[in-house]
Amino acid sequence: MNKLLLTHHIKQKAKEIGFDSCGIARAESLDEEARVLEAWLNQGLHGKMAYMENHFDKRIDPRKLVDGARSVISLSYNYFIDVKQQDPEAPKLAMYAFGKDYHEVVREKLELLFDYIKGEAGGINGRCFVDSAPVLEKAWAKRSGVGWLGKNTNILTKGQGSYFFLAEIILDIELEYDSPVKDYCGNCTKCIDACPTDAIYEPYKVDAHKCISYFTIELKDEVLPADYSGRFENWMFGCDICQQVCPINARADKHNEPQFEPRKELLEMTRKDWEELSEETFKRIFQHSAVKRTKFKGLKRNIQFLRNR
C-alpha cells in the first residue's frame, strides 16, 4: 500500500476508534525543543520532578525509542464532561480525574490502532505511548498539526479546546506528514491573569514548581509550602483554572467515552465527606483512577492544606 493511502486509512481508523485528532510528523531530532527543555531544567523550573532530567537523549529524538523510526503519529482523546461536583464547597478534582484512569483507556484504544496499522502495513516496528515514557508529547502534537501550543503550554485545538489526552505511535515506516497549525491565542492573556500561583510567568512558559497540579500530584513532601496557603482555590488534585478561562474551551464538546463518566458517589461527596475520607473509601472510589497517583496519604495532605487556608 502506498504511503498516501495508508496515511488516509490510519486517520480514518483513528476516528472510528474514538480519537478526535490524528496528525503525523517526521521522526527526527527536536533540536529547538531540546534547547528550551535544557534551559528549563537548568533553571530548576521542574521542581522536584527529577525524572524530567532522565533520558534526555530519548526525549528529544524518537529514533532512540524506536530503531529506524521515521514517523510519529500524534493523537488526541477528549475527556470533557459537562457535570460538576454538587457541593460548591467540596475540594475540587481536575476534570480528567473523574473517570477511569486515562492510561488504561487510551492505551487500549492506541493498541487497537497499532494492531490495525500492522495488519495494513505488514512487518513494521513501532511503539505506543500514553504519558508513560520520555516523549515530548506537546512538541509532536504541535509539529503534526493536532493543535498549537497555548500560552498556558497546553495544546489547543480550534473548535475543540484543550480538554484532551495526548498519545503517540512511533513507527519505522514513512507516511504523509502534516504541518503545524496557526496559533490563535493572539493578544489574550486570560490564562496568565487567572493563575493564582503565578505559575505561568510569561506567555508559553510555566514554572512547574509553582503550579497547583505540581503541588497536589507531583510533590511528595509531607507538608505543602505555607507561603502558598490560600492560593489553591480549593483544588485538591490537579487544577483546571487556565483551561476554564480559555476562550477556546468555550466550544468544548462532551466526550463520547463511557469509561470517563464520573461516579455518582464522587460527584455527591460533600466537603465534610472529603475531610473525613477514609483509606477504605479512597481505595474504593479511586480503584481505577489517576488519583491513585497521590496515594491516600497525599490526597489527605492536600485536603488538610485546604482546610488551613
Predicted confidence (pLDDT) at residue 305 exceeds the cutoff of 70: yes
Q: How many residues does the chain have?
A: 309
- The whole-number pLDDT of residue 261 equals 95
- pTM more than 0.75: yes
Instruction: State the Cα–Cα distance between residues 168 and 74, nearest whole angstrom.
Output: 5
Interval 50-79 mean pLDDT: 97
Predicted confidence (pLDDT) at residue 308 exceeds the cutoff of 80: no
Interval 213-223 mean pLDDT: 97
131 is a catalytic site residue:
yes
Instruction: State the Cα–Cα distance between residues 268 and 250, nearest whole angstrom.
Output: 25
Phi/psi region, residue 238 (left: phi>0; alpha: psi -120 to 50; beta: rest), is left
Pick the catalytic residue from 82, 87, 115, 131: 131
Judge contact between 168 and 137, C-beta under 8 A: yes
Q: In a 3-state reduction of DSSP, which class is residue 294?
A: helix
Instruction: State the Cα–Cα distance between residues 175 and 51, nearest whole angstrom.
Output: 32
CATH 3.40.109 in the chain: give the residue spans. Answer: 3-82+99-171
Q: How far is CA 111 from the centre of its chain?
A: 19
225-260 residue pLDDT tens = 999 999 999 999 999 999 999 999 998 999 999 999
Q: Would you state the cell numbers that stand for residue 5, as one nine-digit string?
A: 493511502
Instruction: State the Cα–Cα distance between residues 65 and 207, nearest whole angstrom.
Output: 28
Interval 77-106 mean pLDDT: 96
Instruction: State the Cα–Cα distance between residues 183 and 200, nearest whole angstrom.
Output: 18
Helices (H), 206-257: 212-213, 241-244
Distances in Å between the Cα of 279 and the Cα atoms of 89, 291, 295 are 21, 13, 9
Across the chain, what does the average pLDDT equal? 96
Instruction: State the Cα–Cα distance between residues 280 and 120, nearest whole angstrom.
Output: 47
Predicted confidence (pLDDT) at residue 47 exceeds the cutoff of 80: yes
Predicted confidence (pLDDT) at residue 309 exceeds the cutoff of 70: no
> Dihedral of the CA atoms 293, 296, 299, 301 (nearest 10)?
-130
Q: Which of the four pLDDT bands, split at 50, 70 and 90, describes residue 123?
A: confident
Instruction: State the Cα–Cα distance between residues 13 and 177, nearest whole angstrom.
Output: 17
155-208 residue pLDDT tens = 999 988 999 999 999 999 999 999 999 999 999 999 999 999 999 999 999 999
- The whole-number pLDDT of residue 238 equals 98
Compute the Cα dihedral for 26, 31, 32, 35 and give only its sign: positive
- The whole-number pLDDT of residue 200 equals 98
Phi/psi region, residue 102 (left: phi>0; alpha: psi -120 to 50; beta: rest), is alpha
Helices (H), the chain: 3-17, 31-42, 56-60, 102-121, 137-143, 190-194, 212-213, 241-244, 264-268, 271-275, 279-285, 295-307
247-297 residue pLDDT tens = 999 989 999 999 999 989 999 999 999 999 999 999 999 999 999 999 999
Predicted confidence (pLDDT) at residue 124 exceeds the cutoff of 90: yes
Q: Which fold would CATH assign to domain 3-82+99-171?
A: NADH Oxidase (3.40.109)
Q: Would you state the cell numbers that stand for residue 178, as one nine-digit string?
A: 502534516
Phi, psi angle pair for 21, to nearest 5°: -135, 150
- The whole-number pLDDT of residue 132 equals 81
- The whole-number pLDDT of residue 137 equals 97
Q: Which of the four pLDDT bands, split at 50, 70 and 90, describes residue 146?
A: very high
Q: How far is CA 221 from the centre of its chain?
A: 23
